[in-house]
């Protein structure tokens, strides 16, 4: 059994991770930590775990967890992991970080977009970006995994085959993405209150969202050159889910069948990536509660553009599910283990 510790277990992503790991046949959860709920039972924080998970939340002590656990999940915001994770910790355990601290290879770029000092520059070269369908071969030998962001997972996987095959003008990419409110986390904030979100849709952090450099960097690797794109996120009054509508100018005339062949080349053997039928486009309701990524596209012959639509559950493939998938790769398990969950509908 893989012994797992979860730091930040009571946030939305941490809670989803607990749910998934409790159903994983090869995992024993050893420790849950939660800064605001130290000494409280997990079932006191989340009543849905009554008589199912009565573990008591502890204070964060990553050195102790590293000694006791085979893998430590850090379901915390940016700025924590770069201070807490050391080479000594990594000598004793494997770490999967949900935050952004090790996602961007250039620490100066990270500091510019996140507004905090990067405290773990010496570990950046050892960290692996945990986009499983792209980096599984290098994930296998890593001890520090940077679990990708939710918007980024959806956007990168939606566009990457087109970028890698040179089918689009790299200077024309526009990503219009929508997220459910759980993407903002569980902390109290006026902008996340029901009356503020319900019956309204809003764009936010226009031309300044922190996932922008992450998307640019990863698509840049596929292209073999730097990419600058436009990314605008929107908040939608629903609990969970991300829909990314991506636009780009085609670099040459192509048919639907030719583009589909490109996606099949890259994702045809990927269990968690589902290509929709022609004329059918992804919806968040069809991936909710699952680790699937649904991708569909349409060629706009009138404008010479392609429109690609991707959908994920931000708490599963966009966070906890991808983390479990990364763990499965790290420990040589079938990637689907503990994740073969059909999407929930209605929900």
3-state class percentages of the chain: helix first, strand second, coil last, to nearest 5: 35, 20, 40
| Radius of gyration of the chain from its Cα atoms, rounded to whole angstroms | 20
Q: Give the span between the Cα atoms of 212 and 113, in whole angstroms.
A: 9
Q: Is 20 helix (H, G, I), strand (E, B) or coil?
A: helix
In terms of Cβ atoms closer than 10 Å to its own Cβ (0-12, 13-18, 19+), residue 221 is middle
- Enter the tokens of residue 232: 């605008």
Question: In terms of DSSP H, where are the helices of the chain?
Answer: 12-22, 42-45, 62-68, 81-84, 87-92, 107-114, 132-139, 150-164, 194-197, 212-223, 256-267, 321-330
Q: Give the span between the Cα atoms of 231 and 8, in whole angstroms.
A: 28
**Which residues face 144 on adjacent strands?**
95
134: left (phi over 0), alpha (psi -120 to 50) or beta: alpha
- Enter the tokens of residue 130: 């945990």
**Which residues face 28 on adjacent strands?**
3
Q: Give the span between the Cα atoms of 202 and 34, in whole angstroms.
A: 31
C-alpha dihedral (259, 260, 262, 267), degrees to nearest 10: 150
Q: Is 150 a catalytic residue?
A: yes
Among 150, 154, 197, 246, which one carries the catalytic annotation? 150
CA 233 to chain centre: 15
End-to-end Cα separation, the chain, in angstroms? 32
**Catalytic residue annotation:** 150
């Amino acid at each position: 059994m893989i012994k797992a510790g979860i730091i930040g277990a009571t946030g939305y992503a941490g809670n989803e991770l607990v749910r998934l790991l409790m159903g994983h046949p090869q995992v024993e959860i050893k420790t849950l930590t939660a800064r605001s709920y130290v000494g409280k039972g997990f079932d006191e924080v989340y009543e849905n775990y009554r008589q199912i998970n009565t573990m008591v939340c502890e204070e964060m002590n990553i050195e102790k967890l590293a000694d006791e656990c085979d893998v430590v999940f850090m379901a915390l915001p940016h700025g924590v992991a770069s201070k807490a994770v050391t080479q000594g910790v990594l000598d004793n355990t494997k770490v999967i970080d949900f935050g952004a601290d090790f996602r961007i290879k250039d620490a100066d770029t990270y500091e510019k977009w996140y507004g905090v000092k990067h405290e773990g520059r010496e570990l950046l070269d050892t960290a692996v970006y945990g986009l499983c369908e792209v980096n599984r071969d290098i994930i296998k030998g890593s001890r520090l995994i940077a679990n990708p962001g939710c918007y980024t997972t959806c956007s990168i996987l939606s566009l990457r085959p087109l970028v890698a095959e040179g089918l689009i003008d790299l200077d024309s990419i526009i990503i219009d993405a929508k997220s459910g409110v759980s993407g903002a986390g569980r902390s109290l904030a006026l902008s996340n209150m029901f009356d503020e979100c319900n019956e309204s849709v809003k764009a936010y952090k226009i031309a300044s969202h922190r996932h922008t450099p992450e998307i640019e960097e990863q698509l840049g690797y596929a292209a073999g050159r730097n990419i600058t794109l436009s990314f605008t996120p929107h908040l939608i009054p629903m609990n969970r889910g991300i829909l990314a509508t991506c636009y780009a100018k085609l670099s040459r005339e192509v048919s639907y069948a030719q583009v589909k062949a490109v996606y099949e080349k890259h994702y045809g053997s990927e269990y968690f990536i589902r290509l929709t039928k022609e004329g059918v486009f992804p919806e968040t309701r069809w991936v909710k509660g699952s680790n699937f990524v649904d991708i569909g596209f349409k060629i706009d012959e009138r404008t010479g553009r392609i429109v690609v639509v991707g959908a994920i559950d931000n708490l599963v493939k966009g966070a906890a599910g991808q983390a479990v998938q990364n763990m499965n790769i790290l420990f040589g398990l079938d990637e689907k283990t503990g994740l073969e969950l059909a999407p929930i509908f209605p929900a």
